[in-house]
Amino acid sequence: MILIFLLAYAFLGWKFGNWKDFYSYYPTLLFFIIGDLLSQFLLFDYSMWEFRTVTPFGDSLHLNHTIISLSKMAIQYTVTIAIFIGRLPSGSWGRVGWILLWTGIYGLTEGLSHLIGMMTYHNGWHFGWDLLFNLMMFTVLIVHHKNPVLGWIISIPIILFLMIHFHVPYSALK
């Protein structure tokens, strides 16, 4: 099923992505990927969610959480940035609507992933946190695109809040 999601994102990226200006928002793509890699590393033994293979072929593809996460970073995040930042509206209200639309898109794909068993929640995380996190994430991606240093500064207290709120034990950190 993850392959279908990734193929759908690839098609949408081909159809709607602003690839001619890609290098102008490439740093924001790296910021997005680094954030996910950091969470994968810091929460290796205390995951908030986990991806699983759900295919008609069973587990014959040998896709584990790490392979699925890296595939999402390479395809889904790249396409997301090419469309989300590449077609970012200029007005404030347009941006609010754009953030809400993308929060809904990610909410829909993550909700479906959870319903079909492709993604499981752990350690107090749930679909409501997914929605709140995505709302914050898309907002911070815009901030980072406009001012990378401010994007990093805003991210630090968010990371600390999440680690404290979800009681991530120091022993879980590598």
Per the CB < 8 A criterion, the answer to whether 95 and 26 are in contact is: no
Quote the CA–CA distance of 77 and 27 in Å, as a whole number: 12
The confidence score (pLDDT) of residue 172 equals 81
Q: Which residue has the tokens 């986990």?
A: 50
The confidence score (pLDDT) of residue 54 equals 72
The confidence score (pLDDT) of residue 59 equals 60
Measuring CA to CA, which residue among 62, 66, 83 is closest to residue 12? 83
Return per-residue pLDDT of the chain as tens, 174 residues.
778 889 999 999 999 999 999 999 999 999 999 999 999 888 888 999 998 877 665 566 678 888 889 999 999 999 999 999 999 999 999 999 999 999 999 999 999 999 998 899 999 999 999 999 999 999 999 999 999 999 999 999 999 999 999 999 988 876
Quote the CA–CA distance of 36 and 70 in Å, as a whole number: 9
The confidence score (pLDDT) of residue 55 equals 63
The confidence score (pLDDT) of residue 62 equals 72
Per the CB < 8 A criterion, the answer to whether 36 and 69 are in contact is: yes
Measuring CA to CA, which residue among 48, 58, 54, 102 is closest to residue 80? 102
User: In the 8-state DSSP scheme, what is residue 72?
Assistant: I
- The first and second tokens of residue 151, run together, are 């994007």
The confidence score (pLDDT) of residue 43 equals 87
- 45 φ/ψ angles, rounded to the nearest 5 degrees: -100, 10
- The first and second tokens of residue 65, run together, are 């959480």
Quote the CA–CA distance of 21 and 174 in Å, as a whole number: 38
